[in-house]
């Protein structure tokens, strides 16, 4: 199956700083990637759809200026949490459709803790 990686796996930062999370498709090209947020013992919440070469599409209630998404190449999308606050602490997961376009493959996730 397709492999999606994320970096870093863990990040701890101070309130007010910005954090960048990378999502890479390792063995396939992904014109579209997805960013999810997951709270403890809850399901995934789709934050935005990242489109290569164009602006991301954000879900209702997700602040575009807070969660900056850049999809600069067919294998890399980045999520930057700007001016992070403790309430932004969460598990962030990216995904992409594999070849064939039927199945989403997920990255291992990034645990963000804002102090």
Q: Which is nearer to another protein, 9 or 83 (CB)?
A: 9
Write out the H or E segment, with its range, that includes residue 12.
strand 10-13
Q: Report CA dihedral (109, 111, 17, 15) to the nearest 10 degrees.
A: 150
Q: Provide CB contacts within 8 A for 12, sequence distance 6+.
A: 113, 114, 115
How far apart CA 78 and CA 24 sit, in angstroms, is 9
Q: How far is the CB of 112 from another protein (least distance, A)?
A: 12
Where do contacts with another protein occur on this chain (CB under 8 A)?
1, 4, 6, 32, 34, 41-44, 46, 49, 91, 93, 95, 102-109, 111
Q: Which is nearer to another protein, 59 or 63 (CB)?
A: 59
Q: How far is the CB of 16 from another protein (least distance, A)?
A: 26
Q: Which is nearer to another protein, 13 or 82 (CB)?
A: 13
């Amino acid at each position: 199956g397709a492999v999606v990686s994320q970096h870093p796996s863990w990040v701890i930062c101070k309130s007010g700083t910005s954090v960048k999370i990378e999502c890479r498709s390792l063995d396939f090209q992904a014109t579209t990637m997805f960013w999810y947020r997951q709270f403890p013992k809850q399901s995934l919440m789709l934050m935005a759809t990242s489109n290569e070469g164009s602006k991301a599409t954000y879900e209702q209630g997700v602040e575009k200026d807070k969660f900056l998404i850049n999809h600069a190449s067919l294998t890399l999308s980045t999520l930057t949490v700007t001016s992070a606050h403790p309430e932004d602490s969460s598990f962030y997961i990216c995904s992409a459709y594999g070849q064939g376009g039927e199945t989403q493959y997920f990255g291992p996730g990034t645990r963000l803790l804002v102090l």
